Amino acid sequence: MNDFKAEPPELHAAMSAAAARVFASGWYVLGNEVKAFEQRWAAACGTRHCAGVANGMDAIELALRGLDIGPGSEVVTTPMTAFATVLAVLRAGATPVLADIDPESGLMSPDSVRRCLSERTRAVVLVHLYGQMRDMPAWLSLCREAGIHLIEDCAQSHLAQWDGQAAGSLGTAGAYSFYPTKNLGAIGDGGALVTQSDPLAARVARLRNYGQSERYVHPELGMNSRLDELQAALLLERLQWLDRFTERRRTIAARYDAAIDNPRVGLLARPQQPKSHVHHLYVVTCTARAQLAEHLAAHGVQTLIHYPVPVHRQAPCAELRRDPLGLPHAEAHAAACLSIPCHPQMSDADVARVVEAVNAFR
């Protein structure tokens, strides 16, 4: 599903040099490398601000805390996501409310979100699942009309664009993860919050560092969620390859869209715009998923499931409020979805082998 060892040797040489630069600097946490990365990532996202943080989950929690969305507030989000999305809402002290998905894309359904709104709703956390931004005008107007914040979970959608605007730049804040397997990944954990808001950026810069405004002064209780210099330096090098890697993902996904032709295997909706999808994952559906996965494994093709258990089926989340009509589409998707390999190091022959194996499934 990933092949980091097959990455270009130039990239690995540049990463080694960047690491050596950090060792030699003698400064390891929140320094010039982090500042440089924050500037470059804000520029790439088209936002006024970027704050490097420890991971993607913290970026969501910090966005909520920075907006005073905590105890007594509800946040509507999707059960078809990494557990971290919902855990971040809970860690902020707010109450997650789960909306169902659109079966065509796996993304949260605006109609379902409307049924989840209450007097206490303060935000929607919209996950650009699998790398896709969809229907952004509908999300922006839904949140504007409800008077609530749109927070984008961009952990899978690095630099996806809607009408030329990058993921994370449309809502009040965007939360990025740089976990190694993400489209832009560190060599460990990392994350970032991007925003156009001056006050939110200033607050998050403080909250990520114990709530410290200046050395030994703590006007509020924060957390320790800092990005370190080594990861920032490595991310700066990896960022230089992101456009090429994303284009390769698009080429592979377009090949799958065109060539997978098996009545037992369903494909998700095509991208709505040429740059709205960055194909973090390529997901198919199949009612005989276990057999399909076994067949592919027998043909040397790895698969994973994103996600086999929707969040409301996880023990600590079983009682969470949800769409009064239930979450039937999320449940059906969780039972049928299968992620097939889609990463920039795949050769054309690798892609052809996957297509052939999928099409041969009976």
Ligand X SMILES: *Cc1c(COP(=O)(O)O)cnc(C)c1O
List of residues contacting ligand X (CB under 6 A): 55-57, 81-82, 84-85, 127, 153, 155-156, 177, 179, 189, 191
Residue sitting closest to ligand X (CB): 56
The maximal CA–CA distance of the chain, rounded, in angstroms, is 66
Strands 149-153 and 173-177: parallel
> Is the Cβ of residue 162 or residue 178 nearer to ligand X in the bound state?
178
> Is the Cβ of residue 156 or residue 172 nearer to ligand X in the bound state?
156
> Is the Cβ of residue 182 or residue 203 nearer to ligand X in the bound state?
182
**Residues 142 and 110 sit within 8 Å (Cβ to Cβ):** yes
**Residues 128 and 153 sit within 8 Å (Cβ to Cβ):** yes
Q: Measured from the CB of residue 177, what is the shortest distance to ligand X in angstroms?
A: 3
Q: Measured from the CB of residue 326, what is the shortest distance to ligand X in angstroms?
A: 22
Q: Output phi, psi for 202, to 5 deg.
A: -65, -40
Q: What is the DSSP letter of 145?
A: H
3-state secondary structure of 267: strand
> Is the Cβ of residue 57 or residue 89 nearer to ligand X in the bound state?
57
> Is the Cβ of residue 249 or residue 255 nearer to ligand X in the bound state?
249
Q: Measured from the CB of residue 180, what is the shortest distance to ligand X in angstroms?
A: 10
Peptide bond into 282 cis (omega under 30): no
Backbone angle region of 211, left / alpha / beta, with phi > 0 → left and psi within -120 to 50 → alpha: left
Q: Measured from the CB of residue 125, what is the shortest distance to ligand X in angstroms?
A: 9
> Is the Cβ of residue 151 or residue 200 nearer to ligand X in the bound state?
151
Q: How many residues can be counted in the chain?
A: 362
Q: From the CB of residue 184, how many other CB atoms can be counted at a distance below 10 Å?
A: 22
Q: Measured from the CB of residue 17, what is the shortest distance to ligand X in angstroms?
A: 25
Backbone angle region of 216, left / alpha / beta, with phi > 0 → left and psi within -120 to 50 → alpha: left
Sign of CA dihedral 93, 201, 167, 175: negative
Q: Measured from the CB of residue 300, what is the shortest distance to ligand X in angstroms?
A: 26
> Is the Cβ of residue 154 or residue 351 nearer to ligand X in the bound state?
154
Amino acid code (one letter) for 95: T
Q: Measured from the CB of residue 230, what is the shortest distance to ligand X in angstroms?
A: 16
Q: Rounded to an integer, what distance in angstroms lies between the CA atom of residue 58 and that of residue 64? A: 10
